[in-house]
Amino acid sequence: MAVNLSKNGPALTAAYKEVVNEKSDTNWALFTYEGNSNDIRLAEKGDGGLEEMVEELNSGKIMYAFCRVQDPNSGLPKYVLINWTGEGVNDARKGLCANHVSSMANFLKGAHVTVNARADEDVEPEVIMEKVAKASGANYSFHKETSSRFQDSGPQGPVGSVYQKTNAMSEIRKTNKDTFWAQAEKEEERRRLEERRKADEERQHLEKERKDREVKEAALRDQRDKEKAVQIEQQKKYQQQQEAERREQDKQRWEQQEEMQVAQKKTVKRGESMEKANEAASLISQRAMNPRDMFKQRERGITPSDSNVPSAAPASPQPEPDLDDGQSRCEYDAQEVAPEEHSKEEAPALSPCVQEPLHEDPPQVEENNYEVTAEETPDRGICARALYDYQAADDTEISFDPDEIITGIEMIDEGWWRGYGPDGHFGMFPANYVELV
């Protein structure tokens, strides 16, 4: 990663400007990293020259020193940049910071001499000053020249030389340093390539895991949807089965109720028939004349009160019908008794057979008219249509549903009437439940 000079930029720039300013007392500044990061900070600065700066170098850190010195030949200010790599720094950190040297040189620009140091002997002030003198290119000082240089100063002394004896160990060490930095750069490049390769492999591995996870989640989701659909289908089947069973039970219950109602109706009809037969028999027994004779007289247009008219020929004796077979006759006899108890205006309405012509065979007419039931009578008397449904409270009342016809109505009271219901039963019912037709 690149070195970061922007975090502490103002302090770094201010220290650098103090060093390059000849009027400033500060002649050196020392820079280092913040911990293990790549952020550069100002470590120290001073005005004691190389001797003071060398004392601040730390063997466990990587540091960059910028110092202003005076050229021993020309007396002009020269600037020295020292790249310090302590012996206690690990190799990985060394390789990482090897790429920061060029960035620091661009920031601390204007250096006449650059020194790569690893040990104290590399930063000895005498050694650094020798390098500065070599870098000046001249072995004289402009400030030391006098205005009388063109004057004859007498005999000259021996000319000095800048030749120095070659130090084999020093040259080997310098070569090793250059080789070390080149090797460090290669190792850093290999490390970056390895990190890039590992990052690609990790990314591919994560992508594969993501795809596998998505496939598993999709399969699990499909399985849950199928299980839910099966449960819904089973629930529907169970509900349909329950509904069918409920309908079957309702049907059986309804059939049982129908059977019970039919049985009750039959029982009620049988009881009513017996009751009406007994009532008719008692009424007949109380009459002063035979019902047959009265019926014959009505057919011939003769009333029973006409005593001057001779009575009809006596009919052949016939046995009285029993109660079960003579229900129609008893009902008819009961209707015949009612006109005698009521006013004379109601008598013709209750005897529809008086106006019918006689047949040639009177005994046959007598027998046929005697056997006619309420349902078979052409004139059913006063009729009414039911507006509402009504259920009988006891055996003296009748039951009916809306739109059913009640025949043979007798208006015995303002609120209660009597008549024949749809099932043929004769009894009372509320008058406001029907309308006359």
* Arithmetic mean of pLDDT, 301-305: 47
DSSP assignment of 169-223 equals HHHHHHHHHHHHHHHHHHHHHHHHHHHHHHHHHHHHHHHHHHHHHHHHHHHHHHH
Could you read off the pLDDT of 405-418 as tens digits, one per residue? 999 999 988 889 99
- d(CA 135, CA 222) in angstroms, rounded, equals 80
142: which 2 tokens?
Answer: 């402009």
Could you read off the pLDDT of 23-50 as tens digits, one per residue? 888 899 999 998 888 889 999 999 888 8
- d(CA 32, CA 30) in angstroms, rounded, equals 7
Amino acid 48: pLDDT: 87
Most confident of 131-135, 213-217, 375-379: 213-217
298: which 2 tokens?
Answer: 């009505």
- d(CA 173, CA 191) in angstroms, rounded, equals 26
Amino acid 76: pLDDT: 87
The answer, yes or no, to whether residue 119 has pLDDT greater than 90, is no
* Arithmetic mean of pLDDT, 300-327: 41
Name the pLDDT band for 6 (thresholds 50, 70, 90): confident
- d(CA 378, CA 388) in angstroms, rounded, equals 27
Amino acid 422: pLDDT: 92
Strand, coil or helix: 276: helix
The answer, yes or no, to whether residue 367 has pLDDT greater than 60, is no
Does the pTM surpass 0.75? The reply is: no
Give me the residues paired with residue 65 across strands. 30, 82
- d(CA 385, CA 400) in angstroms, rounded, equals 10
Most confident of 87-91, 288-292, 397-401: 397-401
Could you read off the pLDDT of 59-75 as tens digits, one per residue? 888 999 999 998 888 88
Give me the residues paired with residue 44 across strands. 30
Name the pLDDT band for 324 (thresholds 50, 70, 90): very low
| The residue to which tokens 């650098």 are assigned | 16
Name the pLDDT band for 381 (thresholds 50, 70, 90): confident
Could you read off the pLDDT of 232-291 as tens digits, one per residue? 999 999 999 999 999 999 999 999 999 999 988 888 877 776 776 676 556 555 645 544
Mean pLDDT value across the chain: 75
Give the percent of the chain with pLDDT over 70.
Answer: 67
Could you read off the pLDDT of 183-203 as tens digits, one per residue? 888 999 999 999 999 999 999
Amino acid 234: pLDDT: 94
| The residue to which tokens 């000079």 are assigned | 5
Could you read off the pLDDT of 204-216 as tens digits, one per residue? 999 999 999 999 9
